[in-house]
Amino acid sequence: MNWIYDLTIVLYALSITGYFIDFLQNNRKANQFAFWLLSIVWVLQTVFFVLRMLEDQRFPILTPSEGLFFYAWILVTFSVVMSKFFRVDFLVFFTNVLGFLLVSIHLFAPTGQASAVIEKQLISELLIIHITMAFISYGAFSLSFIFSFMYLIQHGMLKKKKWSKRLQRFGSLSYLEKLSFRLNTVGVPLLLLSLILGVIWAFWKINNFTLLDVKVISSFIVLLVYSTYLYQKVARGVQGKTLALWNTAAFLVVLINYFLASTFTEFHLWYK
């Protein structure tokens, strides 16, 4: 039944991404999508909790692992209630990020209650989910960079009054900027959740792991740079060429993180 754990984490990640998109873009469809995914996560957690209670014939909150799961379940419950009856999107987003952290630790951290084989398999699946989410976020950043690059090319051609049929095939400047922004709103929360899973995995699998590892620091720098991009767009109203240049520079940070930082760390030598 390990696939249920994986499904819970994936649905939770998608739900948080939906809430993040709604917060930045005031997208009600994304909010509704995120709410229903969060409701499914709550149902799965409740089923886990009830089954454990029936199996142990007691209220399962006595051990640290059980207490952690109950704490995560309460956070998800509060998030569902707040999403349904109140309009506090930013609070819901951060509450779910904390809940995601707790659920991930509970589901994947070795507790001694399962066999060594199952625990090893869960840790391996955690790594796969972490890598997949990281690459999806990098894919979103890459496409966002391409749209910003197209924006800069078209902007330069328009400024120099170089009219051609090729110019029309680029799409409007506003359209290119909108697509670039939307892709980053997907990439940022996925990268954040991927880093959470990666750190949890590293604490259990890498001896003497430290958050000061070059790869870890550079990954959080990428998250900070793109978060700043979103802040510039949403809070300060920066747009046009300035925003496109910022996004282009941000993608260079991604490339540095992926290629250069990996040469100074053993963090991703998983099977050495």
Of the candidates 243, 257, 83, 123, the one whose C-alpha atom is nearest the C-alpha of residue 179 is 243
CA 133 – CA 156 distance, rounded (Å): 35
Q: Given pLDDT bands bounded at 50, 70 and 90, which one contains residue 225?
A: very high
Position 97 scores a pLDDT of: 87
Place of tokens 């469809």: 29
CA 140 – CA 239 distance, rounded (Å): 19
Q: Is the CA virtual torsion 261, 97, 3, 57 positive or negative? A: positive
User: Is residue 165's pLDDT more than 80?
Assistant: no
CA 193 – CA 14 distance, rounded (Å): 10
Summarised one tens digit per residue, pLDDT across range 244-257 is 999 999 999 998 88
Q: What domains does the chain contain, in order, with CATH numbers?
A: 1-114 (1.20.120), 124-271 (1.20.120)
Q: Mean pLDDT in the chain?
A: 80
CB-based contact 265:214 (threshold 8 Å): yes
Question: Model's pTM, two decimal places?
Answer: 0.82
User: Is residue 183's pLDDT more than 90?
Assistant: yes
Position 122 scores a pLDDT of: 61
Please tell me which of 112-121, 157-166, 189-198, 258-267 the model is most confident about, judged by mean pLDDT: 189-198
User: Is residue 221's pLDDT more than 70?
Assistant: yes
CA 202 – CA 214 distance, rounded (Å): 14
